Structures are given as C-alpha cells and as structure tokens.
Chains A and B, each alone.
Chain A
Amino acid sequence: MNLTHLTALELGRAITQGDVTIPQATQAALEEIAQRDKSLNSCITVLAEQAMERAETLQKGLKPGLSPLYGVPLLLKDNLCTQGVPTTCGSRLLEGYVPPYDATVVEKVKTAGGVCLGKGNLDEFAMGSTTETSNFGPTRNPWDESRVPGGSSGGCAAAVAAGFAWYALGSDTGGSIRQPAGYCGLTGLKPTYGSVSRYGLVAYASSMDQVGPLCRDAADCAAVLDMIQGKDPRDSTTVDGNYGGLLSSLASDIRGLRVGLPMECFGEGLRPQVAQRVQEVARVLESRGGTVTQVSIPELKLVIPAYYVLASAEASSNLARYDGVKYGFRAKEYGNLTQMYENTRSQGFGKEAKLRILLGTFVLSAGYYEAYYKKALAVQGQVKQGLERAFAICDVLLTPVTPNTAPKLGESLRDPMGMYLSDLYTVPANLAGLPALSMPCGVDGDGLSVGAQLVGPRFGEQVLLNTAHAYQQETDYHRQVPKGGGMG
C-alpha cells in the first residue's frame, strides 16, 4: 500500500482496521518531508519529535467509534495559532512569537485525534497569490518546481499534493484555499462565513477570512468540515446552525441539480484551455442528471477593485497591532516610542504587506473614504444581490478557479497587477460570505492542473460537496499525484 497516496479517510479506515499504525503513517509523512521539502519549501516548522510522540499516544487510545480522521496526520497554515509552537505568518514581524493558546480549529482537530506535522508556508500575513512573499522563501509547486503553488495557503497545498500530509487547514480571504488547491490538483473548500471559528486565526481581513480544508477529494473535505464547523463563543461572528453530518449525508446522486454558468466568468482574459476543462465539468454534471444553464451576474464586473479596497482597509487596521511592544519582533535601534514603532514595522513587514497597509490607509483616509471605501461596500452589496438572484434559479454556480494555470516563480512579482486581477473568480464568494469549492478538472497543454470552482448559497456546503463527489465518481483527476512523490 502506498500510504502517502491514500486519501485522509482511506488512511483513517486503514488505521481503524489495524492495517496501518498511526506512528507508521506519521513516520512515512515525516520521511517524505525530510527527503523532499528542501526543494519544495512547503513547511516553515516541522514537528517531527512532537508528531511521533503524539502518534504513539493516539495509537494507544485507538478504539471503536472515534472520528474518521483519528490518527491522520495534517499540516496547519502558519497563520493559525498553535500553543507552544512558533506561529510566523510568513513574516519577520512575528519572529520569536510562540502563542500561549491554540486556535479553536486547532483544538478541534486535536480533540478529533489529528497529528499535526508542522506549519505550512504562506504569503506574508496571507497577502499574496503565489507564496512568494513569505519571509521564509517561496514554496514550489510539486507538479513543476519551476512554478508557484499558488497562495496564500501555498505551503499547505504543495505539501498535501506532494504527499507530506493527508490534509491541511488553510485560510481563504480572497481565494487563498481554492486557488492553491486549483494550481496543485487538490480539492479545497472555503466555508460559509461564520460557520468556522476565526479565534486564533491571525487576522488579515476579518470580514472575509475563513478557515477551511485542503484535501485530496470532496469526501475528505466533508470529514474535515464536520470536524471544524460550529458556533464558537470566542468568535462572535460564528453563527448557530446544524453542523455535522456532511460526510454521512454525502451523496453522488445529483439528478435535477441546477448548475449555473455565469457568463461573466467565461469572458476576456480566460485561457481557452482552462475554459474548455471547466466546460467539460458541466458536461459531466449533465451526464449525471444535472441541468446546465447560462446565467448573467453583471454585478461581478467590479469585484476586484471592491475586494482590494475592503481587504486592504481591514488589513491596515488589523496590522496596526504589530508595533514591537507585546510580542514578536522589535527593532534594535530607536530613539523614542514613535521610532520604535516605525523601525519595528519597517524592518518587520515585507514589501507586499507594506503596500497593502498603505493602500488601506489611503482608502480610509479623510477625503477618500467616500470615493473608495463606501463605493466598495456598495459593490459588495450589489454582488450579494446578484448572487442571490442567481441562486433563485440555480443550486450551484460553476466557474474556473483562475483564468490561468500556475505561473512560473517570479512572474507574478514582476506583474503584481496581473496577479491581483487573477483573483476575479474567487473573490465574489468572499465578498458575499458564500461557500465555494475548488476541484481539479484536468490539465493544460503543459500538464498543469486546472481547477473548477463550485459556489453555493449560504450554508450550501452539502450541495457543493455532493456535486464535487459526483464529479469525482466519474473522473480520476483528483487521484493523480505528482512524479517523485509517494513511498510505500
């Protein structure tokens, strides 16, 4: 059995049945990381010793009736606080920071018997789409190491694709789970805003940030979501709901499913090969009994400027807390308090974080607030209305994840505007707080993974998972692994 090619649920079953022990699985993952992560650079911290100790303890506690992911090793994006384990956000500013508490999602994963292998690389403070803005160097895409894995959860995506972990928890503010999942051939899901606690997730843009899974298939995503969704008294933006049961209700019967193709997502700028792969998804869904119709959501036209105004505004406010006083990095030299703040922040933040802080400061400043921030809020309202209108006649929307496949390292840094514009299809779900899933749907002419996105109505995770599951019954793109990966 090639352990590192199994899905998380398959490994969970193998552990339950006694075919594999938790220490064996953990050891296999750690060996893969030790052998191959020097070139991929997907992990900022590897918890080899801790993970093995935890695996031994969990193995002793193995009994019937545990979580289906009991004992399954995972990776956490390094913007999730982990008690006693450094949490860097890919930034020098959190140098030396060791959180004294776990994020709620980390607690939940531990309670369910997860083995944390380490912390995944990311764009600094999750600001980027390529994992090249990390202070710990760029992560490479395991499918083609001259290319980026996407971002900002690129370390987690590369690691799961490479077989270093069976799943990962990432965060998604404008596509940071779905886009790297798309570039690395994984299934990733950004949950409905308010369904997963953000307590202990280092804030970027709080009104849009959401934690979610990066997995090998839809069933794994369902299992992880069952574990992490829920109301949390420590995050007042979480909402009550009927959580759990996504995996047990997972079905591949999608007869009668109404699939909408928003025409605005298939226009200018979309690479023809990507469009073709996504159209093929529509045909597969039709062959399983779905009906596909074209819809128009003209409100999507201004999503990119609206998103960058709102996200930067919130970032400039959230990142104001990094001042060198209570934790993290402090500059060595300063003459007074203001200089201490300025030198700490100037030496601690990288270029992309500085740009977004300045942009956020600009759009919130007197005279510009009305012209930018309020207009962006108006667009956000219109986008919500446009999507609601679409969901009156559709159950899911099908779009590409990105207009292209993974770019070469360095390309996006030379053309940052191009990088921002490529978030076109992912940001609407964040602006509207809706759930959205990314799944692999084939490759382009260079053999690079193409991602298809399914967007659902609020709390529509089950329909997204069922649709993806149905698709994955017909196709095997999600089963493909990069060359050089895997061991027995």
Chain B
Amino acid sequence: MEETNKPVRELSRLARLSLTPQEEEELAGRLEEMVGYLHALSQVEHGAEVEAPSAVPFRPDQVEPSLDGDKLLNQAPQVRDGYVVTPRSVGEGGAE
C-alpha cells in the first residue's frame, strides 16, 4: 500500500529501527492491513477539541533522598569513571 509500503523505511528511520529486508516486507504488509483498517476513523467527525487534562498542582519542593547514583550506574551497559559511555554524540562517526 502506498502509504506504508514505501515509507516503512522512513518510519523505521524515525523510530531508530533498522529492519532486515524480510522484516521490512513482513511489517510493511501488516502495517498496510492495519492502516487500511484504521481508515474507518475517517468517517468520524472531529468532535469538540479534546479538553486538556486539568493541571496537576505541584508538590512543595523539598530535598529528599533519591535513588543511589552508583546503583543506577550499575545498570548501564558501559561505564567509565562514574560516567555512562556511548559513542560520540556530537559530530557522529567517531569511535567511542
């Protein structure tokens, strides 16, 4: 289907997924079927603008114990000197 078959590559780029050709084909087919089904929504008249949820009052700001930094860092796949290690985020293309 026009809407999803070709753009499935663009959608996966936006969603940071790199699909294999087989996955791309299978998921494009399933997306096509679902989007076709979702077309039923086109018959819906736009209702009144959906009300924004009422603002949640902020709690008073106060210092409280939080989760332990070391324990949180322990969860990271790669850590060095108390920092999470990732490839370079500015000027991509460099090594870690």
Chain A interface residues toward B at CB < 8 A? 96-98, 100-101, 233, 236, 302, 304-306, 308-309, 316, 320, 323-330, 334-343, 345-346, 349, 351, 354-355, 357-359, 361-363, 365, 371-372, 374-382, 416-417, 420
Contact = CB atoms under 8 A, between A and B. Distances in A.
B14 A365 contact: yes
A85 to B, nearest CB: 13
Contacts of A328: 75, 77
Given A337-B92, A378-B46, A358 B11 contact: yes
Closest 4 CB pairs of A and B: A330-B77, A327-B75, A378-B47, A375-B41
B63 interface: no
Contacts of B93: 335-336
Nearest to B26: A351
B33 interface: yes
Contacts of B87: 334-337, 339-340
A219 B34 CA distance: 40
A interface secondary structure, majority: helix
Contacts of A334: 87
Given A233-B59, A375-B41, A379-B44, A354 B31 contact: no
Given A324-B77, A346-B19, A365-B14, A100 B42 contact: no
Contact of A362 (B4, B16, B37): B4
B17 A358 contact: yes
B22 to A, nearest CB: 11
B16 A97 contact: no
Interface in B12-68: 12, 14-19, 23, 26-27, 30-31, 33-35, 37-38, 40-42, 44-48, 50, 56, 59, 67-68
Nearest to A347: B18
Interface of B: 4, 7-8, 11-12, 14-19, 23, 26-27, 30-31, 33-35, 37-38, 40-42, 44-48, 50, 56, 59, 67-68, 71-72, 74-78, 84, 86-89, 92-94
B59 to A, nearest CB: 6
Nearest to B13: A342
Contact of B8 (A338, A358, A365): A358
B42 to A, nearest CB: 7
A358 B89 contact: no
A379 B42 CA distance: 11
Nearest to A233: B59
A329 B77 contact: yes
B41 A302 contact: yes
B34 A359 contact: yes
A377 B50 contact: yes
Given A100-B75, A372-B41, A358 B67 contact: no
A193 to B, nearest CB: 11
A382 B18 CA distance: 38
Given A336-B93, A358-B8, A362-B4, A306 B41 contact: yes
A375 B42 CA distance: 7
A361 B67 contact: no
A341 B18 CA distance: 9
A305 B27 contact: no
B86 A305 contact: no
Contact of A357 (B4, B17, B37, B94): B17
Contacts of B88: 336-337
A329 B78 CA distance: 11
B78 A326 contact: no
A371 B41 contact: yes
B4 to A, nearest CB: 7
B86 A340 contact: yes
A334 B12 CA distance: 17
Given A338-B92, A351-B27, A381-B50, A325 B84 contact: yes
27 contacts: A101-B67, A308-B38, A316-B15, A320-B16, A330-B78, A337-B89, A340-B87, A346-B18, A346-B19, A351-B23, A354-B23, A357-B17, A358-B31, A359-B34, A359-B35, A361-B14, A362-B11, A362-B31, A374-B46, A375-B41, A375-B46, A376-B41, A378-B45, A378-B46, A378-B47, A379-B44, A420-B34
Contacts of B17: 342, 345-346, 349, 354, 357-358
Given A335-B93, A337-B92, 8 more contacts: A100-B74, A325-B76, A326-B84, A334-B87, A346-B19, A359-B31, A378-B47, A379-B41
Nearest to A342: B18
B3 to A, nearest CB: 8
A96 B45 CA distance: 47
Contact of A417 (B37, B50, B76): B37
Contacts of A376: 41
B94 A336 contact: yes
B84 to A, nearest CB: 6
B38 A309 contact: yes
A329 B50 CA distance: 38
| Of B26, B38, B76, most A-chain CB atoms within 10 Å | B38
Contacts of A326: 72, 75-76, 84
Contacts of B75: 96-98, 100, 326-328
Contacts of A323: 16
